[in-house]
Amino acid sequence: MGTPPKKKQTGGRVTPKGTRPDDRARAGATTGDGGHPGSSTRYTPPVPMSEKVSPPWVAPTMFGLLGVGALTIIVNYLDLLPGGTNNWYLFLGLGFVLGGIITATKLH
């Protein structure tokens, strides 16, 4: 068994020797569309975003929902709600906690 034959290189150097592929872009080279400079070679700074501020009701609502949800779950397990321990109270408490988490995503 011999070694497999080496593949013949096809193609050749694309850029002139001693240059890098991005040198043309830095030098303001033109694209093939009639000599106009390529728009992708220019740096455009990002548009500054104004600082976002949450409405004043977001934080108290978030903490209120989280607190009511946790309190509902705790009171359910302590058997202090009418009807004894019930899964519906647990689901209600989890719903309040989920509402608090969703409200927390709106806080900036």
Residue 20 lies in a domain: no
Residue pLDDT, tens place only, 38-60: 556 778 777 666 767 789 999 99
Model confidence at 34: pLDDT above 80? no
pLDDT of residue 43: 83
Count, in order, helices (H) and strands (E) of the chain.
Answer: 3, 0
Answer whether residue 1 is part of any domain.
Answer: no
65 versus 43: the higher-pLDDT residue is 65
Residue 28 is predicted with a pLDDT of 54
Establish if 52 belongs to a structural domain: no
Asked whether residue 74 is assigned to any structural domain, the reply reads yes
The structure's pTM equals: 0.53
Does residue 51 belong to any structural domain of this protein? no
Give the mean pLDDT of 54-68.
95
Query: Structural domain of residue 84, as residue ranges?
Result: 58-104
**C-alpha separations of 71 from 81, 94, 103 in Å:** 11, 10, 18
